Amino acid sequence: MFKQEIGFYLGREKPDGFSGFVDENNLFLTVEIETGITPDRGRELTAYIREKISVIKIENLQQFDVFISNIIKEKNLPSGFSLSAGYLKGNIFYLKTVNQGKVYIRRNNKLALLIERDETASGHIKEEDVFVFTFNRFMKLLGEESGLNQKFDHRPISDIIDEITPELLELDDQGTAALFLKLKKMEEEITRVNNFSLKDFYQRFGQQKILTFITVFILGIILFWSVGLGYARRSSENNQKKINLTHDLISQKLNQAEEVSFLNMSSALSLIADSKEKANKLKQEVGVKSYELSGLDKLIIDTENKILKKEEKKYTEFFDLTVDDKNAKGNKLYLNDDRLLVSDKTRGVLYEFSLDKKSLDKNQSNEIKKSTLVALSEEKKYFYVEDAGIYQIIDGKTKKIIENDKDWGKIIDLVVFNSNIYLLDQGKDEIWKYMVAESGFGSKNSYFQSGQSIDLSQVNSLSIDGSVYLAGDAVMFKYTSGLRDGFKIDLPDGSTNINKIFTTRDLEKVYGWDKKKGIIYVMNKNGDYQEQVNSKILSTATDFVVYKDFIYVLQGSKIYKIE
């Protein structure tokens, strides 16, 4: 029985490639895919391998070779993939490499290449053996075998990883990976039962039947108690060893996650997910009580929150529309400078509210009762009525300024920017732009430059700060002057459904609201993830805006402020 000390290195994530690892049920595997796969699909691959190895039994090298070959066929891996893997069966290691894969062993202070390219091998392991599952690219970055060998000096694997991480992060480490495994002998406890004293007792007192019976009975109780206690003690000690081993491994993974999170958020989240799997497995093996003593759940959650900058934010009531009417209830928000427009569709009211002064003004008309979208620009209020057109309120008077257009499909958002009107038309995959003119507005034009329009069926929100931001169900885009702009999305959760995207020319960040999760993701204007705001109110709100970095949320008649 060997104690496993494990460490791993993951380079920066490639947008069109993947590198990852599996450490499950004595399977140790690293995979490197140059192109032809997304990071999400790569994580699905490693999850699939973990699932397969948990239900299959491998008895020899041929079965291990078939196991790997079947995975390659079943998942139809692209031609540019490489693999380095080993399966530990007792004290025998089955090894396999594909394409650029390499397996090294360090034994008796000497480093040697065991297999590479498309090879298999098997052999007996020894105490203090160190195996490295990696690829050509990692070895070149580290200075080949001599560079790797210099990192070993009777040190723990975690120390080696800590040393090479800052070195490789300064290089072009995109897409590379390595898994280190050190095997140590575990001390086995042998429980001995000495029967001599019991036999001698029978010989001396064999004729004293009653006394013998009583004595044997008492000894039986003591023996039963002793064996039971011994078993409980050994079971407790074994559980504690499992907890300690898992705690060390998870701590190592979480430390690595923190180190790579700044440059490679996806890899960091993959490490956290793997830590959760290890913790759940431990819970099943040792029971909830023992597991709770280890504090692993809190360790993982604290690290995840730290990496994601995830914090539950408190909210306070900022304003209540019932000061005007006890039946007031808001539906939509729109922000222009410090002025907040709140629509009450049921009562046909548009409230104009100053966030700085908390002053309140309102307009009322029957047409507002049919409205679905509202906007505010300078002294003018706008609202859209389906199958009717766009209305404007100025100086308290309501008039239609744009007639319903037969070319419109499904209008789902309205923004006024630089006095021009923009309509998000999901039905026609268009953003219609109406330029302001002396007598009102000119005819519509497509915002998109020729050949730049996209499928908007998953998009449900529009925001403008000079550039145009679009967001919806797991999609987010940015356009500038009608041309697709660089907007790299790196949110923690790929399944994110953005109900509303929001920014202004005065804000330095972009905000994406996922109502189902009760989260607002905060990004810079290139799409890089910054942090996330969690608050219970975000799961029940109907709309939000951001002013001076404060989040204002509408729920019923009340506007809440998240600091």
Residues 512-562 have pLDDT tens digits of 999 999 999 999 998 888 889 999 999 999 999 999 989 999 999 999 999
> Does residue 505 sit in helix, strand or coil?
coil
Q: What mean pLDDT do residues 473-494 have?
A: 85
DSSP H or E segment with residue 226: helix 209-260
Q: What is the pLDDT of residue 466?
A: 94
Pair 303, 326 in one domain: no
Tokens 């390499």 belong to which residue?
Answer: 102
For residue 493, pLDDT over 70 is answered with: no
Q: So what's the pLDDT on residue 244?
A: 76
pLDDT at residue number 34: 86
SS3 percent helix, strand, coil of the chain, rounded to 5, is: 30, 40, 30
Q: Interhelix angle for 265-286 vs 39-53, to 10°?
A: 20
Residue 203 pLDDT exceeds 60: no
- Please indicate, yes or no, whether residues 93 and 11 belong to a single structural domain of this protein: yes
- Residues 15-63 have pLDDT tens digits of 788 888 898 889 999 999 988 888 888 888 988 998 899 888 899 999 9
| Pair of tokens at residue 276 | 């959760």
Residue of 89, 118, 88, 87 whose CA lies nearest to 102: 118
Q: Is 301 found in the same domain as 152?
A: no
State residue 200's pLDDT score. Answer: 46
Q: Please, is 440 exposed, middle or buried when counting C-beta atoms within 10 Å of its C-beta (0-12, 13-18, 19+)?
A: exposed
Q: Which residues pair with 181 in a beta bridge?
A: 6, 131
Least-confidence region, from 183-187, 294-298, 356-360: 183-187
Kindly tell me if the per-residue pLDDT of 206 is higher than 80.
Answer: no
User: CB of 462 within 8 A of CB of 451?
Assistant: no
Q: How many CB atoms lie within 10 A of CB 397?
A: 9
350-383 pLDDT tens trace? 999 999 988 889 999 999 999 999 999 988 999 9
Query: At 190, phi and psi to the nearest 5?
Result: -115, 125
Q: How many domains does the chain have?
A: 3
pTM of the model: 0.59
SS3 485: coil
Same domain, 146 and 269: no
For a pLDDT cut of 70, what percent of the chain falls above it?
A: 88
One domain for residues 333 and 419? yes
- Chain segment 221-272, per-residue pLDDT in tens: 666 655 555 555 566 677 777 777 788 788 888 888 887 776 677 678 788 8
**pLDDT at residue 291 in the model:** 53
Q: Which of 167, 187, 207 is the endpoint of a domain?
A: 187
Out of 208-217, 479-488, 502-511, give the one with best mean pLDDT: 502-511
Boundary-marking domain end, from 165, 187, 209? 187
* Domain boundaries, position 125: 1-187
Q: Which residue has 């709140």 as its token pair?
A: 342
Same domain, 194 and 183: no
Q: In the prediction, which pLDDT does 191 show? A: 36
Query: What CA–CA distances, in Å, run from 43 to 38, 335, 482?
Result: 9, 40, 35
Highest mean pLDDT among 204-208, 288-292, 539-543: 539-543
Beta strands in 454-518 (DSSP E): 459-464, 468-472, 476-480, 483-484, 500-502, 509-514
Q: Verify that 385 and 495 share a domain, yes or no.
A: yes
Q: Are residues 222 and 196 in the same domain?
A: yes
Average pLDDT, stretch 413-442?
95
User: Same domain for 18 and 38?
Assistant: yes
More confident residue, 286 or 533: 533
Residues 210 and 175 in one domain: no
Could you tell me the CATH number of the domain that includes residue 344? 2.130.10.10
Domain boundary among 160, 187, 214: 187
256 lies in the same domain as 330? no
- Tell me: do 293 and 327 sit in the same domain: no
